[in-house]
Chains A and B, each alone.
Chain A
Amino acid sequence: MAPAAGKAQQWLQLYSENLANSYRASALIQHRVTKGETRERQILDLLEALLPKRTAVEPDVVIADSRDAESPKFDAALLDRLFWPRLFEQNDTAVVMIESVLAAIEIKSFLNAAEIQDVFRKTTLLRGMACAGKGAGPCPPLVCAFAYTCDNLALAFFDFACAYALAPASSATLICVLNEGLLCLCRQDGDSLVPVDVPAAGLIPAAAVLGPDALLMFVYTLSGWASLGGGSLDVYRAYGRHVFATATVVYFEDDYLSAVAGSATVRERARQAYLRPGSASLTELYKASRRSIGLP
């Protein structure tokens, strides 16, 4: 029997419900730009309220490097405001040094292949920018995304894993799907997988199906980035211990990931198995996908 949720877990679950309700309420707005901005504000306001204040969650920042290149527009950035100056600010628009950015954040109403590609395209451009020196966090900065909905998490995981396998160093670190789970990068540690922040070759794309606790794990991860290596995460885990003690991830085996990364034809054939999941579990879909490309 699952242990009763602690207060921190319950609060984050209630935040998740609120976000889901706000998302449904904003669906009534017909103006697409206004609707998108409303949804961005809902999650960004929550992150601003919950993350350590040493950093700021800011929308509409332009990330620039010392060679005068600018990043594509992200919905928000997690910035170190304590020690890093800005390059420019006027009204609500700021230009910031890439070294001061801990993470770029994308907000998606709906997660699908096109949106995952969009996140990875922007990540590639951001991670291709120059770092003039040691940054507040990893430089080039990390990229994460938050999605309100996803009607096929198995397919999204497949697309995320393929995107990572094709360009490991240009991968987003984390995608949170509200009330569903997290898509993340991990490394093997004995029988466990340990989440990894900085994308690199040799990692394992993984999916954590967390249901209403996805937001807690997302806030936890961003808190780690925002606390710049402080010890608060060890304490945070104690408050959400029921989630952290039981969380598991699923992942694809190496032979499968190599096969789908190595050929667009194989990748498309493997992808077909996830398109109409019905009531099949992720494991069943994965088995069917393996069979479809001739793997046992």
Chain B
Amino acid sequence: MPEAPLSFRPRSAEIRKSGTVVGLTDRIYDVGETEVVFDEVLIKGDLSGDLDYNGHTIRVVRVDTAVGLLVDGRGARGPVWKGVVCEVIH
């Protein structure tokens, strides 16, 4: 019998802090039990401390690369963090 997680709002690419969008992931990620790794996050604000990502509380623990202005096939954007490792609090 099919079983699925119950989601209480449409999942989005938004990372929020105290209700304010502080980052946008390059796609919507499934959050693991202990860790989620975003390939790319477009920085919109302060990503320190506890963050909300689709109902999960996460905390950034490591960033592989920080880019001021990224220009590639998807256009120019920035600042961008790549390889963002986050601890899942709950």
Task: Give A contacts to B, CB under 8 Å.
Answer: 3, 186, 189-195, 206, 208, 231, 233-234, 237, 241-242, 244-245, 247-253, 282-283, 286-287
A186 CA / B11 CA spacing, docked (Å): 14
Min Cβ gap A219→B in Å is 14
Q: What are 21 of the A-B contact pairs (CB < 8 Å)? A: A189-B10, A189-B11, A190-B28, A191-B5, A191-B30, A192-B4, A194-B7, A194-B10, A208-B6, A237-B8, A237-B55, A241-B55, A244-B8, A248-B3, A248-B4, A249-B3, A249-B6, A251-B1, A251-B2, A251-B4, A252-B1
- Of A231, A233, A245, A250, which is within 8 A of B2 by CB? A250
A193 touches B7 (CB 8 A): yes
A287 CA / B2 CA spacing, docked (Å): 11
A208 CA / B5 CA spacing, docked (Å): 10
B8 touches A283 (CB 8 A): no
Min Cβ gap B8→A in Å is 6
CB-defined contacts of B30 to chain A, threshold 8 Å:
191
> B17: CB under 8 A from chain A?
no
- Dominant secondary structure of chain A at its interface with chain B: mixed
A192 CA / B29 CA spacing, docked (Å): 12
B1 touches A282 (CB 8 A): yes
> B56: CB under 8 A from chain A?
yes
B3 touches A250 (CB 8 A): yes
A253 CA / B55 CA spacing, docked (Å): 27
Given A3-B90, A251-B4, A253-B2, A244-B28 contact (CB < 8 Å): no
- Of A190, A233, A241, A247, which is within 8 A of B6 by CB? A247
- From 23 to 77 in chain B, residues with beta carbon under 8 angstroms from any chain A beta carbon are 28, 30, 55-57
Task: Give B contacts to A, CB under 8 Å.
Answer: 1-11, 19, 28, 30, 55-57, 90
Min Cβ gap A220→B in Å is 8
CB-defined contacts of B8 to chain A, threshold 8 Å:
194-195, 233, 237, 244
CB-defined contacts of B9 to chain A, threshold 8 Å:
194, 234
Q: Beyond the given A189-B11, A195-B8, A253-B2, please list 19 additional residue pairs across the A-B interface where CB-CB is below 8 A.
A: A3-B90, A189-B7, A189-B10, A191-B4, A192-B4, A193-B6, A194-B8, A194-B10, A234-B9, A237-B8, A237-B55, A244-B55, A245-B56, A247-B6, A248-B6, A249-B4, A250-B1, A251-B1, A282-B1
A22 CA / B20 CA spacing, docked (Å): 43
A181 CA / B11 CA spacing, docked (Å): 23
Min Cβ gap B48→A in Å is 19
Min Cβ gap A112→B in Å is 22
A192 touches B5 (CB 8 A): yes
Shortest beta-carbon contacts, A-B, top 10: A192-B7, A283-B1, A247-B6, A286-B1, A193-B4, A192-B5, A194-B7, A250-B3, A249-B6, A250-B1
A286 CA / B2 CA spacing, docked (Å): 10
CB-defined contacts of A245 to chain B, threshold 8 Å:
55-56, 90
A3 CA / B33 CA spacing, docked (Å): 12
Chain B residue nearest to A209 (CB atoms) is B3
Min Cβ gap A183→B in Å is 13
